Chains A and B, each alone.
Chain A
Amino acid sequence: MRILTALAVAGTATLANPRGAGAEPAGPAVQHFTLSNGLDVVVIPDNRSPVVTHMIWYRVGSADEDLGKSGLAHFLEHLMFKGTAKNPAGSFSRTLATLGGQENAFTSSDYTAYFQRVTRDHLERVMAFEADRMTGLVLTDTVVLPEREVVLEERRMRTDNDPGAQLAEAMQAALFVNHPYGHPVIGWEQEMRKLNREEALAFYRRFYAPNNAIVVIAGDIAPDDIRALAEKTYGAVPKNDAIKLRSRPLEPDARASRRVVLADQRVAQPSLSRYYLVPSYRTAKASEAEALDALAHVIGAGTLSRLYKALVIEKPIAVTASAWYGGTSFDATRFGISATPRPGVSLEELESAIDAVVAEVAANGITDQELARAKTRLVADTIYSWDDQFTLARVYGSALANGLSVETVQSWPDRIRAVTAQSVQEAARNFLDMRHAVTGYLIKQPAPPEKRS
């Protein structure tokens, strides 16, 4: 048995003197190693309470589904709770419950992740269960068919009952004209209806393997023990040599600004949102993604942001205005802006005010004070995240599942500190380009005239 790499990153686990002269607070002493079957293991010590968070992240999401099979990755996530030959129907969940454990799972375009939270004594049990269902899943139509109804109800709850979610779905489809990010994670209804047991199992066999997964363990554990436990549980699962680095159809160079309008009688409060197609941390050139994070903060986080000041305070034509950047993505991603108009203000008027704010930053940049404030907040949020092992596990898991490394996460505060006002201005100029953007209007549909007979 050979352990390939073991690199301890970052400094001390505890802060002997957090406020000492010039002492920079250090984050958790994260360790990362890879088993001989290709499984990545990340260990994040947090010894403040006797609790452990165990996650497994598969490098597969809805963007890896074949055309016409939308929703399959998420459907499989549900089916993963149906049992294995060794641990049949529900025995994993049942056992976990008697141990006082919590569990759940989540799927995105890029990953599918499962987690359990238990007190530290039970970690080995859950690792053994999770290793077993990496290859041991057993499915019958008796459990698959009702579960398909469940995901259809989930779609109704999240999307079909909510005009705002339908607009977001339509904007996503308009933004990604070629990349499979264009279809919803939950799936299109007519395709979801046809998903079946055979397809779910084929997808499972194709993508679920140790060399396509990352185990993240955060909590009250000794990293050396984890290595032995990981070998004992996951180490026995054979790798799948057919798995290659993901390569999805990429977006062509976009040239057409797009507009999507969703009108529904249920819209009592109109709103506007915009997505720009921008690079992610994995696809961006050096420092571009960090600049986009700072840009989102300066123009759209909180009441001091450019958008809020211009639209909500100064004019005032809006009641909310904000921006965000989804940097953790395997392929190209989104930079978003959204705003809610005051009564009587048209979305066209709101949109031109947003455009003016963006144009101003692109033309004249941001102030040093704005940049300093953004850096302070972004770096402090990192320190606050050390207080929450679940958040830490999610941060590292999603980073690794999206092609980043432990070091990338650890050096992020330093790279944010290095962002310049000029790079933020360049990010606005280069990426907030209407040719790469979709603008969505959510408006009220007037009631149809009464039918007279």
Chain B
Amino acid sequence: MTRYLALVTMTLALISTAPAFAGASRIERIVTPAGIEIWLVRDKNLPMMSLEFAFLGGAAQDPAAKPGVANLVAGLLDEGAGDLNAAAFHERLEERAISLTFGVNRDNLRGSIRTLSENRDQAFELLRLALTAPRFDGQELERIRAAVLAQLRRRSTNPSDIAADSWFARAFPGHPYGRPPQGTLESVPTIAVDDLRAYVRRMLARSNLRIAAVGDVDAAEIAILVDRTFGSLPPRNDPAPVADAEPRGLGTTETIEVKVPQTVITFGGIGLKRADPDFIPAFVLNHILGGGGFESRLFREVREKRGLAYSVYCYLAPFEHTGLFLGGVSTRNDRVAETLEIIVAEIKRMAAEGPTADELEKAKRFLIGSYPLRFDTSGKITANLLDIQIENLGIDYIDKRNTLIEAVTSEDIRRAGRRFLAEVKLLVMLVGEPQAKKPMGGG
């Protein structure tokens, strides 16, 4: 039981505006002989290293009729590769306590490897096999497929999952973002080995690869390891075009009846993409509205003053092909209307008046002061460096970032607010048995 629920982001990377660790000069940019770029932070304090990578594309590159392909690929890359069947592959990992993970979101297929220094060569050899010679044995495909289907059945009655999946389905009909990255109960049974192989052939390439590493390894060593591991991937990926899109259905509220005592509410509308010049002011504004722990307006009005919810939040979710403003809250079925009214009123008030000078100053102090907290473990450093690469912010971004926050003026905030809060046009999903259905979006 915690005082508040850490916000689990639905997408990658929205917090990579986040901060730096002492001296971003510690980041080395390395281009290997094979031409692969790596961002490295050397840290010889512990006898271990971590590497995280992303192949741009993700679940948005699933065939339209078969959502869930990338997710199954991620589930199967470590289930047998080269001469090693699944059991032998896992034995090699476990004998040396090597952690290898893969996962997908809408825009990327990501992976990470963590190893003790003494097992580095073996770790990267296993990663090489997983990426370049995955077996996709039939028996293993059926096993992982069964696990994915079980997970999808669980999701099918979980109010939070229903709310998130249906929000994206309504907001992006016919667009890859409207499809659930995990696939569906209908699509996953139809995915064949050939679909997995086709995805790997198209999307695991050097041109859409991004890599960040931290630990007990130097530039020359990491270059050799990376070339050995990723060097034989095809030079270019072959993505299907994905259109830029804006969320639809704004101004509407939809209820999905599920017999639960508490209604889960997901709301969202137009946000800003990461490259937008107003992104940073919008990020600061959102922090004041509903992004920041115990201090945000939504937290104070919805939770602290009225006890309407345990958790209430909103955030900017920049994707490659869209920018979103998303939020959520859960409240007793008979208090849904009241909760929504307060949230809408707060958004309107913020759009109309902006934050006070004091709020703006405090938000800046928090965002600037907390920046080193994002860089105190190897995993956080690799994840942040990778996000900065994916979002094309530049290797000096960590040094610049606090200056950008500091420079935000109340005029910037007002302009950013006009971009994403002004009309308060939201698509709202209610999952539960809300007793009074008041539309929220219109207005």
Residues of A participating in the B interface, judged by any CB pair closer than 8 Å: 14-15, 18-19, 25, 46, 48-51, 74, 77-78, 81, 90, 93-94, 97-108, 117-119, 145-154, 156-158, 160-162, 185-186, 219, 265-269, 302-304, 312-313, 316, 319-320, 340, 342, 372-373, 376-377, 379-381, 383-384, 386-390
B90 near A98: Cβ-Cβ < 8 Å = no
Q: Are B97 and A100 touching (Cβ within 8 A)?
A: no
5 of the cross-chain contacts (CB-CB < 8 Å) are A94-B295, A149-B306, A150-B303, A160-B262, A265-B259
Select from chain A the residue with minimum beta-carbon distance to B79: A303
Inter-chain contact count A-B, CB under 8 Å?
210
B146 lies within 8 A of chain A by Cβ: yes
Min CB gap A127→B, angstroms:
17
Given A18-B47, A117-B373, A147-B307, is A268 in contact with B156 using a C-beta cutoff of 8 Å? yes
Say whether A388 contacts B377, CB under 8 Å. yes
Complex interface bits, B365-383 against A, C-beta within 8 A gives 1, otherwise 0:
1111111110111110000
Whether B143 pairs with A97 at a CB distance below 8 angstroms is no
**How many Å lie between the Cα of A157 and that of B262 in the bound state?**
7
Q: Interface segment, B29-37, B114-122, B344-352? A: B114-122
Name the contact of A49 in the complex, choosing from B21, B44, B308 (C-beta under 8 A).
B21
* Contact residues in B for A379 (Cβ distance below 8 Å): 97
Give the interface segment out of B1-9, B315-323, B421-429. Answer: B1-9
B438 within 8 A of A: no
CB <8 Å contact, B90 and A77: no
| Contact between B293 and A102, CB atoms less than 8 A apart | yes
Residue contact B307 to A387, C-beta cutoff 8 Å: no
Query: Chain B 10-30 against A: per-residue CB contact (8 Å), 1 yes, 0 no?
Result: 000000000001100000000
Contacts A50-B22, A153-B332; A100 near B371 (Cβ below 8 A): yes
Bound Cα distance A185, B1 (Å): 7
For B432, the chain A residues whose CB sits under 8 A away are 161
Closest 5 CB pairs of A and B: A100-B369, A149-B307, A380-B97, A146-B307, A18-B47
Q: Compute how far the CA of A349 lies from the CA of B156 in the bound complex, rounded to whole angstroms.
A: 25
The stretch from B51-59, B147-155, B197-205, B273-281 touching chain A is B147-155
Specify which chain A residues have a CB less than 8 angstroms from the CB of B258 in the assembled complex. 266
CA distance A97 to B331 in the complex (A): 26
What's the nearest-Cβ distance from chain A to residue B351, in Å?
23
- Chain B residues closer than 8 Å to A149, beta-carbon distance: 306-308
B228 at the interface (CB under 8 A from A): no
Q: Which of A14, A97, A268: most chain B CB closer than 10 A?
A: A97
Which residues 139-179 of B have a CB within 8 angstroms of A?
143, 146-147, 149-150, 153-154, 156-159
B376 CB contact (under 8 Å) in A51, A101, A148, A377: A51
Contact across chains for B371 and A376 when beta carbons are under 8 A apart = no
Q: How far is the CB of B153 from chain A (nearest CB, A)?
A: 4
User: CB distance B117 to A19 under 8 Å?
Assistant: yes
A150 touches which of B307, B369, B375 (Cβ 8 Å): B307
For the complex with contacts A18-B216, A316-B143, A383-B46, 18 further pairs of A-B residues with Cβ separation under 8 Å are: A49-B22, A97-B365, A100-B366, A100-B367, A100-B368, A100-B369, A102-B293, A105-B2, A146-B303, A146-B307, A149-B307, A153-B262, A156-B261, A316-B146, A319-B147, A372-B95, A373-B95, A390-B376
Interface residues of B, CB < 8 Å — how many?
78
Q: Which of B87, B307, B378 contacts A145 (CB 8 A)?
A: B307
Contacts of B246-297 to chain A: CB distance below 8 A? 258-262, 264, 292-295
> Which residues of chain B are near A390, meaning CB under 8 Å?
376-377
B96 within 8 A of A: yes
Q: Is the CB–CB distance between A304 and B91 below 8 Å?
A: yes
Instruction: Find the A residue at minimum CB distance from B6.
Output: A104
Contact A269–B154 (Cβ < 8 Å): yes
Whether the Cβ atoms of B373 and A157 lie closer than 8 Å is no
Query: Once the chains bind, are B48 and A161 in contact (CB under 8 Å)?
Result: no
Given contacts A153-B307, A154-B1, A160-B260, A387 and B46 within 8 Å (CB-CB): yes
Residues from chain B with Cβ under 8 Å of A151 in the complex: 310
Per the bound structure, the CA–CA distance linking A269 and B185 in Å amounts to 12
| From B2, B97, B99, B114, contact of A106 by CB (8 A) | B2
Q: Which residues of A contact B90 (CB under 8 A)?
A: 302-304
Is B362 among interface residues, defined by CB-CB distance under 8 A?
A: yes
- Cβ contact within 8 Å between A266 and B293: no
Give CA–CA (A48, B367) in the complex, Å.
21
Q: Does B195 contact A (CB under 8 A)?
A: no
A49–B150 touching, CB < 8 Å: no
CA distance A185 to B262 in the complex (A): 20
1/0 per residue, CB under 8 A from A, across B176-214: the answer is: 000000000000000000000000000000000000000
Q: Contacts A18-B117, A150-B309, A185-B1 hold; do A97 and B47 have CB atoms under 8 A apart?
A: no
Q: Is the CB of B159 within 8 A of A161?
A: yes
CA distance A118 to B97 in the complex (A): 32
Q: A120 CB to closest chain B CB, in angstroms?
A: 9
Q: Tell me whether B293 and A157 are in contact (CB under 8 A).
A: no
Interface-centre pick from A148, A373, A387 (highest chain B CB count, 10 A): A387
Contacting residues, chain A, for B371 (C-beta < 8 A): 100
Within residues 348 to 407 of chain B, which ones have a CB less than 8 A from any CB in chain A? 362, 365-373, 375-379
- Assuming the contacts A77-B3, A100-B365, A148-B307, asked whether A342 and B114 have C-beta atoms less than 8 A apart, the reply is no
Q: How far is the CB of B402 from chain A (nearest CB, A)?
A: 10
- Please, which residue of chain A has its CB at the minimum distance from the CB of B50? A387
Q: Is the CB of A342 within 8 A of B2?
A: no
B residues 50-93 in Cβ contact with A at 8 Å: 50, 86-87, 90-91
Q: How far is the CA of A119 from the CA of B369 in the complex (A)?
A: 8
Give the residue name and chain of the B residue nearest to A48 (CB): B45
Closest to B300 in A: A90
Please give, as numbers and ranges, the residues of chain B lying within 8 Å of A388 by CB-CB distance. Answer: 376-377, 379
Q: Given the known A-B contacts A97-B295, A319-B147, A387-B378, are A77 and B1 also in contact in the complex, defined by CB atoms under 8 Å?
A: yes
- Of chain B, the residue at the smallest CB distance from A106 is B2
Partner of B3, one of A19, A105, A162, A265: A105
Determine the distance from Cα of A372 to Cα of B377 in the docked complex, in whole angstroms: 28
Indicate which residue in B6, B21, B47 contacts A19 across the interface (CB closer than 8 Å).
B47
Q: Contact at A381–B97, with CB atoms within 8 Å?
A: yes
What's the minimum C-beta distance from A187 to chain B, rounded to whole angstroms? 9
The residue that A384 contacts in the complex, of B114, B146, B147, with Cβ under 8 A, is: B114
Once the chains bind, are B330 and A49 in contact (CB under 8 Å)?
no
**B114, B216, B293, B305 pick with most chain A CB within 10 angstroms:** B293
Closest to B148 in A: A319
A186, B307: Cβ atoms closer than 8 Å: no
CB–CB B294/A93 < 8 A: yes
A15-B47, A106-B1, A386-B46 given as contacts; is B366 within 8 A of A98 (CB)? yes
Measured between beta carbons, the chain A residues less than 8 angstroms from B330 are 153, 156-157, 161
Chain B residues near A158 (CB, 8 Å)? 1
The docked-state distance in angstroms from the alpha carbon of A308 to that of B332 is 39
B97–A319 touching, CB < 8 Å:
no
A161 in contact with B365 given A153-B310, A383-B47 (CB within 8 Å): no
Q: What residues of chain B lie closer than 8 Å to A381, measured between beta carbons?
A: 97
Determine the distance from Cα of A313 to Cα of B3 in the docked complex, in whole angstroms.
41
Interface residues of B in 90-110 (CB under 8 A from A): 90-91, 94-97, 99
Q: Does B341 contact A (CB under 8 A)?
A: no
Separation of A386 and B95 alpha carbons in the complex (Å): 20
Question: CA–CA, A74 to B3, complex, Å?
Answer: 9
CB atoms of A267 and B260 under 8 A apart: no
- Is B304 at the interface (CB under 8 A from chain A)? yes
Taking A48-B43, A302-B94 as contacts, is the C-beta distance between A81 and B294 under 8 angstroms?
Answer: yes
Q: Which residue of A94, A161, A268 is within 8 Å of B260 (Cβ)?
A: A161
